[in-house]
Amino acid sequence: MRGEKKPRLVMKFGGTSVADTTRLEGLVVRVRRELEAGYDVAVVVSAMAGETDRLVGLAEGAVRVMDGREYDTLLSTGEQVTASLLAMMLSDRGIPARSWLGWQIPLDTDGRHGRACIEKIGTEGIERRFSEEGMVAVCAGFQGVSDRGRVTTLGRGGSDITAVALSVALGAGRCDIYTDVKGFYTADPRIVPKARVIGEIGYEESLELASSGAKVLQVRSVEMAMRYGVKVRVLSSFEECGGTSLVGEGEGGARMEKQVVTGLAMSTKECRVTLAGVKDVPGVASEVFRPLADRMIDVDMIVQSVSKQDGKTNMTFSVQSEDVDEVEKMLIRDREKFPYEELSIDKGVVKISLVGLGMRSHAGVAQRMFEVLAEKGINILVISTSEIKVSVLIGEDYGELAMRSLHTAFGLDEGE
């Protein structure tokens, strides 16, 4: 009977899962199954595989200075195509459905084009159609609307955060993220063939892995899921499997058998920046990093070492490749404020990270990591550690070898 409140479910499908109409046909089956199980369903879709990249390429090839407002309007069209097509197909197969673009929901964001943050989601319209018409809401992921009424986008991979935020706003009991692999793995299965699916993973560990390069979930979406305790599952849209559930610390049975290292990740988007011969006086680090922080540039690993000359220091840090040109310009511009002898930038590096809650109580993980890399003749350029993570920067040619060797050495290979 309509009018009664049913449990709610958000299902998100990524690019490969919506790549063509044959795949969309598979989604219709999955949505129908959940409706029959008694849920009101909101679906979040990405653009078809490769479409967002194609749109980025069009814009970059056409203009020198990008207008963020038009760029976001262009990029958001990918998700509009899939949302409307899927809504059409569902209705045609006897399932009442309506598409919702960001501004129609409305999903309100700030005005930071290209990486907007969600401020509020109005769910009244979707909820009314749930209760009055039993209608499936097919929402375009990755997009919102600013207070100036312009279309915004939420950063690459942003459909994940649309799904998590919508789950919070709708009070959904579950948020199922369907993708092209069978769940959250101990390492990217395309790099480490022996990687295995992690049945249950803590929010904190998944956040560390995602921010270290495991792109299966967008970092901000995990942050939000953790903050609101959203019951996220990562599932395959191609195979029936248990997938991965995100759980809070102490929740979930499988966590009792936890390994010291839960998983590893590689980030290929790193660059190493070194300022050699900087004057070693109080305040110099603040002078170097303040302008970067003001521009919201993320600086990850920082090492300060003694220079051969008295009163001088060397500073090495890593930044994302997309920011490195801007960082270089700023450091050259500010040379008068913190004189240095030489600036060098190395773009041929990757960052490998080991993550595990068990590291809190087990010493020696970093040491074992260094040993394994030494055995393979891999030189470590920069090291950083936190409570549950150890990261190293190494030459990009050694990235895959390091991932596979570490995966084996920490007992993570399938079948062990």
Site of interaction with Mg ion (CB under 5 A): 14, 157
Residue facing ligand ADP at closest CB distance: 14
Please state, in angstroms and rounded to a whole number, the distance separating the CA atoms of residues 371 and 105: 53
Q: Which amino acid is at 280?
A: D
Short-list 369, 411, 374, 371, CA closest to 391: 369
Residue 407 corresponds to which tokens in the numbers above?
A: 């995966």
Is residue 340 close enough to count as binding ligand ASP by CB under 6 A? no
Q: Which is nearer to Mg ion, 144 or 157 (CB)?
A: 157
CB 56 to ligand ASP: min, Å: 9
In angstroms, what is the minimal distance from the CB of 142 to ligand ASP?
A: 4
Residues paired with residue 44 on neighbouring β-strands, in sequence order: 12, 139
Position 179 contacts ligand ADP (CB under 6 A): yes
Q: In the 3-class helix/strand/coil scheme, how is 213-276 assigned residue by residue?
A: CCCCCCHHHHHHHHHHCCCEEEEECCCCCCCEEEECCCCCCHHHHCCCCCEEEEECCEEEEEEE
From residue 381, alpha-carbon distances to 28, 135, 170 in Å are 49, 55, 47
Binding residue (CB under 6 A) for ligand ASP from 9, 19, 74, 78: 78
CB of 214 to ligand ADP, least distance (A): 4
Our finding on whether 13 is near ligand ASP (CB under 6 A) is no
The answer to whether residue 47 forms part of the interface with ligand ASP (CB under 6 A) is yes
157 vs 243, which CB is nearer to Mg ion? 157
Total site size for ligand ADP, rule CB under 6 A: 19
Contacts with ligand ADP in 11-70 (CB under 6 A)? 14-17, 46
Position 46 contacts ligand ASP (CB under 6 A) = yes
* Binding of residue 157 to ligand ASP (CB under 6 A): yes
To ligand ASP, the closest distance from the beta carbon of 317 in angstroms equals: 27
Q: Which is nearer to Mg ion, 14 or 102 (CB)?
A: 14
Site string for ligand ADP, 205-244 (x = CB under 6 A): ----x----xxx----------------------------
Instruction: Determine the number of helices (DSSP H) and then strands (DSSP E) in the chain.
Output: 12, 20
Q: Which does 52 bind (CB under 5 to 8 A by kind): ligand ADP, ligand ASP, Mg ion, none?
A: ligand ASP
Beta-ladder partners of 33 = none
Q: How far apart are CA 337 and CA 87, in angstroms?
A: 57
Distance CA 186, CA 192 (A): 9
> Is 102 an interacting residue with respect to ligand ASP (CB under 6 A)?
no
**C-alpha closest to that of 223 among 173, 289, 155:** 155
Residues 48 and 18: beta-carbon distance below 8 Å: yes
Residue 378 binding result from ligand ADP, ligand ASP, Mg ion, none, given CB thresholds of 5 to 8 Å by partner type: none
Q: Are 61 and 68 in contact (CB under 8 A)?
A: no
* Interacting span for ligand ASP (CB under 6 A) from 93-101, 155-163, 204-212, 348-356: 155-163
CA pair distance 84, 339, nearest whole angstrom: 56
Interacting residue with ligand ASP among 141, 202, 243, 399 (CB under 6 A):
141
Residue 156 contact among ligand ADP, ligand ASP, Mg ion, none, beta carbon within 5 to 8 Å by kind: ligand ASP
For ligand ASP, which stretch binds (CB under 6 A), given 44-52, 317-325, 341-349, 388-396? 44-52
Interface residue with ligand ASP, options 17, 52, 146, 186 (CB under 6 A): 52
Strand partners, 354: 264, 390
- Give how many residues touch ligand ASP by CB under 6 A: 13
- The helix-helix angle for 77-92 and 51-62 (nearest 10°) equals 150
Collapsed DSSP state (helix, strand, coil) of residue 380: strand
Place of tokens 């490969």: 16
Residues that bind ligand ADP (CB under 6 A): 14-17, 46, 157, 179-181, 184-185, 187-188, 190, 209, 214-216, 263
- Which residues would be at the binding site for ligand ASP (CB under 6 A)? 14-15, 46-47, 52, 78, 141-142, 156-160
